[in-house]
Amino acid sequence: MDADKVLNKALKLGMDELSVEYIERIKRQVRFSNNDIDISKLWIERKCNVFMSKGKRVLLTSISNPEKWEEELEQYAKLIKNLPENKDFNGLNDKKQVYRSPKFDAELVHIDLDEIAKRVIDGALSKGAVRSAGVVYMDYVRSTIATNYNTAEDTRAGVDVVIRAFSDTKMAGQETITTASTSDLENVEEIGERAASMATLTAKEVEGRPGKYDVVFHPLAFGSLMTYSMQMASAFFVDAGMSIFADKLNEKIFSEKLTVYDDPTLFSSGHRIYDEEATATQRTTIVEKGTVKSYLHSHSTAVKFGTRTTGNAGIIVPNPWQIVVKQGTRNYSDLIASIDRGLFIVNLWYTRFQDYRNGDFSTIPRDGIFYVEGGEIKEAWKGIRISENIVSMFARITELSAERHKVKWWDEVLPSLLPYAKIEGVNITKSTL
């Protein structure tokens, strides 16, 4: 089973257009808790992701059985004839593509994940943590894609490290790194050190006080806000009316400090050379100095919007690959020192939108909520929620740090390169979680 064989077989079965991506993946995981490694896992996966069309009828599936792929394909070819038409499907990109050469750090595949975990744990203990928990992932992918018009190959690997460090008062700090290069892991102890430093900043947590505060968001927390908002730059969600960017192209809706790219060309864990219809990927400016510059397109959405694909297929739902925010000029410590009365927030979870079109949402800070007064951290807080509007918040960005970190966390934070962000007048309410 390979991409070309599946493509040719499907064409013989009468399909019009196809995108077939054959993927070989090796994924390793090391998990640790209470300062010890407790789980080590290995996954090996081989599958074909198949998109096929017959006129306006479309079907997307995965085939993982190498012995019965022809039988499965024949069943799907019969099934597609009974599906309703997708009026928004406008075919695959038929333009001949020129691809960047794959960039790949082969040493990353053989890196000792146990050693990485131990070094992160040691870093946390060296800065006063009494307990730590987290995970180290290595993801190695070799892939080949074939459409009626283009073929390409890619090899990529990435490592994600996440740690939560706890003080003797059970306060927690969290840090993460995502990378495609062994050089980023040379001083990986620093990830544990930073997490522990936050866990031990103050002696205990107190209940947070509702109000409006200036807030410095750590790149991990800023990453959650960026991930949820920039997914709405997908032309699919714009067209569906479920996006803050709908009808806002070329309008200034955010702070002039904010410039955001989708950049799969940056060599980190979210880099890739082609999208799901074999279009070469590119750096796309989504927001420039607060102005909405582009939506993220597949070929079909680009035809509907009268523009060109940005290499972000998802054939049906375009998506960002890797979010990059242009940095500012000040150190993040200066941003905290500039707060008269406000907060420093490390991480967010349970981010939920009540109104996708207008941008009303709420989210819960965790693993580092610090009350700042006169530029100094005075207390650690708990029990708060951010209840806000994402457009209004991004319009109130006053500073971005010169430092940027490569972050990723579960599905909450896409692979990203982000600074610390200072935002004025953030609405803080009580949380029952």
Q: Render the burial of 187-209: b for 16+ CB within 10 Å, e for the rest.
A: ebbebbbbbbbbbbbbeebeebe
Segment 126-182, tens digit of pLDDT: 999 999 999 999 999 999 999 999 999 999 999 999 999 999 888 999 999 999 999
Report the C-alpha gap between 43 and 102 in whole angstroms.
Answer: 23
Integer CA distances (angstroms), 323 to 87, 112, 417, in order? 30, 28, 6
Q: Where are the domains of the chain?
A: 3-198, 204-433
Question: Please, which pLDDT band fits residue 204 given cuts at 50, 70 and 90?
Answer: confident
Cβ atoms 150, 141 nearer than 8 A = no
Percent of the chain with pLDDT over 70: 100
CATH 3.20.20.140 for domain 3-198: no
Single-letter code of the amino acid located at 78:
K
Nearest 5°: phi and psi at 182? -65, -25
What mean pLDDT value characterizes the chain?
97
**To 10 degrees, what angle do helices 189-199 and 113-126 make?**
40
Cβ atoms 301, 239 nearer than 8 A = yes
Question: Which conformational region is residue 170 in: left (phi greater than 0), alpha (psi within -120 to 50 degrees), or beta?
Answer: left
Single-letter code of the amino acid located at 99:
Y
- Whether the per-residue pLDDT at 203 is higher than 80: the answer is no
The distance from CA 145 to its chain's CA centroid, rounded to whole angstroms, is 23
Task: Please tell me the pTM assigned to this model.
Answer: 0.96
Nearest 5°: phi and psi at 190? -60, -30
pLDDT of residue 283: 98
Report the C-alpha gap between 415 and 173 in whole angstroms.
Answer: 20
Segment 290-343, tens digit of pLDDT: 999 999 999 999 999 999 999 999 999 999 999 999 999 999 999 999 999 999
Report the C-alpha gap between 234 and 38 in whole angstroms.
Answer: 40
Segment 253-285, tens digit of pLDDT: 999 999 999 999 999 999 999 999 999 999 999
